[in-house]
Structure 1
Amino acid sequence: MEASSFELWLSLIRPTLARDEIKSTNRKGTDPIEPENMLQMTLSWLAGGNYMTIRGLAGMSPSGIYGCMHAVMDAICHCPELRIHSPTESKERIHDLAESFTNISKDGVLTGCVGCIDGWLCHIRAPSTNEVPDVAAFFSGHYQKFGVNVQAICDAFSRFTGYCMNSPGKVDGSIAYKKWSLSMEIMQLPVCFV
């Protein structure tokens, strides 16, 4: 990650992560953990780092690092600037998305495209009969694994603009797409958009 990207992300969630210095000192006898460190530890963990190594470097307890990571994830999820915006949110958005695809295509030949859609089987453990009525519905014969069918759409810069996880692994991707509410919105776009 570029340093400028880290700083931008931090600027968006810093107000939510700021801790009261007096309360922290009174409660723990130490200064509060800085938002920079909170974000860095969370990103390290999300990138596949071992939480024991990360917490050891930060001098935190296991519960402390999990509390830190949950605080960062909550801040990210509740930040309006980081919210995923639907490709069909407004006419202006539709035109901006289509223009982006035209601009990145060779000689501007890709016109009217508002997103790229793909599916993925998110592997899960086999659910129990207490969790779902039909355990077999989550088994994908193609992948020979239990999972949830995920459909997603992105813009010309590979940023997600929508996603859906409402189908078990047994369901074919084309059917899962049709069950997605965004599929109906896409079908209602003007003829010049796809």
Structure 2
Amino acid sequence: MTRHRNSPAAKANARVHKRAKTVMQAMLSMKCLTDIVSLQDLDESALDEALLGYMEKLRVSSEHRARAAKRIFRQRKRWSDFSAKLTDRQFRRYFRMSRECFYLLCRRIEENVGEKAFKSEVFLDNLKYTRDPNLVRMSKLMRAHENTTGGFISGEIKLALTLRLLAGGSYLDLSLLFECGSSTAYEIFHKVIREWICSKDKPLVNINGKDFIDDEERMAAVALEFARSSAGLFSGCIGAIDGWVVKIKKPSQGFYGLNVVVICDRKKRILYRVINSRGAEHDSTAFKNSSLYRKLMDDCDRLLEKGFHFIGDSAYAIRSFLLTPFDNAVHGTPEDNFNFFHSSSRICIECTFGEVDLRWGILWSPLKFSLRNNIKVIDACLMLHNFIVDHRESLGENVSSMERDVFDDDCRRFMASQTGIYSVGVHGGDGGATAQRREELC
């Protein structure tokens, strides 16, 4: 059991250590003076140098004692005590997800990285009294940390701090709230994103467009969701595609950005994303430079035979696997009817961007990290969005009743900040089979 620093036993132990340090300092001083006396046969400059060295040792020792006296003993925040003070509404607004979703996220991460890496609060409580030979060393290390830095930070606190930073919180406020150093807050933030959420070995969720293209059953299920929204008139759609510019650290004029190409299904679940293009790059060009585009070009005949296709706005070039709206369609014509159902189905990608941008306030201002960390932060936002969508669908909850009343103030602030207008490009391409397919959908 860890002794409190103000207990009688701890005070007695401190007096013993202080007395031992005094004796040791006296012995060192005598040795240094003996060395000085042994130099009496040397010239005065050598003696002066030896005396200055001794005085410097005393000064450094005095500074170390002063810093030790000013050291702040941290009492680590317990997640159970902190979360118990929050109502369900406060919890959702603070961490951008429900309490149940948060604990499900903790369990998923603990399964992926292991309990020793995650260090949940329950695991740390049991670690104090463990007799497991594999955990004894960690237990001793934890007790040493408790006497110096306050102990290990639990996995729940690390995840909560990361979610709050993604939601737009200040690292200075969070370092005070969770009893950790300000620099430690960002160290935890980047480590959680890099090793827990966007891990190469076991990511939080799997977003792989190539696997999706190879899974015909999954494509058929997504196409059925789109068909239901149009009473079966708009069939074969397996996803909506669009580009989204995320601002990053900018120069004195204008701004830099990253063009994020995203494909989602009707339920706003992200099926594919690529984050490697400049903000000024056209959406169509960014998509053509992706590995998914090359795979689609190889499998275009198979997708055409099955009747599967993506939908995108007129910024994209028309292909057999990508349908775009008609230009200058006259009201009441079959082309106008096609554009109506096309737009109604494509709106889900705009809603996806809106939900991601609304939930994660870190995206409201330019990201100020390195390019690699900026990409990781964006990817973490998308993966967490998918995790929340999966949880929402498993419960059968409605996003309008679940989120709208919670993020009202954030929504107004977000909408007021939107001043950009997406440019519309001119499409062209293999008009033969694609045009015929589009005519049939009219």
Query: Which band: TM-score by shorter chain?
Result: 0.7 to 0.9
Partner of 1:120: 244
Partner of 1:165: 275
Cα 1:31/1:125, change in 2 over 3 Å: closer
SS of the counterpart of 1:167?
Answer: strand
Aligned-residue sequence identity (percent) comes to 31
Is the 2:162–2:189 Cα contact (8 Å) retained in structure 1? yes
- Residue 58 of structure 1: CA displacement? 0.8
Cα 1:6/1:102, change in 2 over 3 Å: farther
The alignment yields a C-alpha RMSD, in angstroms, of 2.6
* 2:197 corresponds to which of 68, 76, 87: 76
Does the alignment pair 1:99 with 2:219?
no
Larger Rg: 2
Render the CA deviation track for 1:103-152: whole Å, top value 9, x for unaligned. Answer: 4x14344422221111122333468xxxxxxxxxxx9xxxx643332211
Partner of 2:118: 17
Render the CA deviation track for 1:46-84: whole Å, top value 9, x for unaligned. Answer: 000011111101110123222322332121112345121
Is the 1:17–1:71 Cα contact (8 Å) retained in structure 2? no
Which of the pair is proportionally richer in strand? 1
Partner of 1:155: 265
Which of the pair is proportionally richer in helix? 2
Structure 1 unaligned runs (5+)? 128-138
Counterpart of 2:100, as a letter, is: S
Partner of 1:66: 186
SS of the counterpart of 1:102?
Answer: helix
Q: TM-score, normalised by structure 1?
A: 0.77
Cα 1:12/1:89, change in 2 over 3 Å: farther
Does the alignment pair 1:44 with 2:145?
no
Structure 2 unaligned runs (5+)? 1-96, 125-137, 310-442
- Residue 9 of structure 1: CA displacement? 1.0
Please, which moves more after superposition, 111-120 or 20-29? Answer: 20-29
SS of the counterpart of 2:152?
Answer: coil
2:203 & 2:249 partners in 1: Cα distance?
33
Is the 2:208–2:271 Cα contact (8 Å) retained in structure 1? yes
Q: TM-score, normalised by structure 2?
A: 0.37
Aligned length: 178
SS of the counterpart of 1:166?
Answer: strand
